[in-house]
Amino acid sequence: MSPLAHRRFLKMNGLGNEIVVLDLRGSDVRVQPAEARAIAADPASRFDQMMVLHDPVTPGTDAFVRIYNTDGSEAGACGNGTRCVAWAMLDDPAMARPPLGENLVLETRPGLLAVVRVSPVDFTVDMGRPRLKWDEIPLAEPFPDTRRIELQVGPIDDPVLHSPGAVSMGNPHAVFFVARDPETYDLARVGPLLECHPIFPDRANISLAQVLDRGHLRLKVWERGAGLTRACGTAACAALVAAARLRLTDREATVTLPGGDLRIAWGEDDHVRMTGPTELEHEGTFAPSLFEAAA
């Protein structure tokens, strides 16, 4: 029997980005890729990302968080999921371990994330510094300037999409700036192709961004390992950074996704901070039968 059988989970969302929060602190259990895929396939626990809490590794942190995509792969970062983790650790009766105050420091594979509560359901996450060098993102070949890289979709003399900005926010992003509403593009068709393009050795999140004004972007995202999503916090951060580097926007802006708005600020300290809401949908436990095929 899977060690995840009968484990309690929270089904949450951040702007419609479906999140499962699973607490494995106090155990040495690790989620296997097949188990993550089985959890994602169940309608009751369907997720874009699953945030799994483990005991702290670095002194002074509150938990180590592993992040899983629907295909069982691990993600480096998930801003919307990080806000959900903060709410769970502070407010959920079974997960909260007081006294924590209103601030948390969470550790992920790429580094530490400081989280500050700004309202009962809203949190600001310090997503850290964007990585802008080609080998940090990473890209498969050198680009001295990652504000625009050589990549396009469509005819060479009239491409549909071209010259994205490349940014890592703990996971790789390619941001294409478009002149019209991103919803008018068939991202479900081109997203999988671009995600796995050879130029991205670790695959990439693919975003279409429309600049509405210097303080407002509209965004649509194909998430690496998850597909089309109603919201992606790291993509919103990457889009703001990519736009500001091209001087299309200021260093602080509202990013509107299909699920709602995030406020993104790229500070003078080079850290990107994201503010947005959380919502608890329901709680449940994993049925043993869920993992039979994953055994």
Q: Give the residue ranges of the annotated binding site for substrate.
A: 17, 49, 69, 79-80, 171, 205, 223-224, 233-234
Question: Any catalytic annotation for residue 78?
Answer: yes
CA distance 139 to 204: 10
The CB-side HSE value for 294 (13 A sphere, CA atoms) comes to: 24
Q: Judge contact between 167 and 146, C-beta under 8 A.
A: yes
Q: Judge contact between 274 and 127, C-beta under 8 A.
A: yes
84, 196, 232, 237: the active-site residue: 232
CA distance 16 to 48: 10
Q: Which residues are annotated as a binding site?
A: 17, 49, 69, 79-80, 171, 205, 223-224, 233-234
CA distance 274 to 237: 7
Sign of CA dihedral 269, 271, 275, 280: negative
CA distance 140 to 154: 21
CA distance 286 to 154: 45
Question: Any catalytic annotation for residue 232?
Answer: yes
> For residue 254, what are its two tokens?
């509202």
Distances, alpha carbon 269 to alpha carbons 52, 92, 136, 169, 266, in Å: 29, 33, 19, 15, 8
The CB-side HSE value for 140 (13 A sphere, CA atoms) comes to: 11
| Catalytic residue IDs | 78, 232
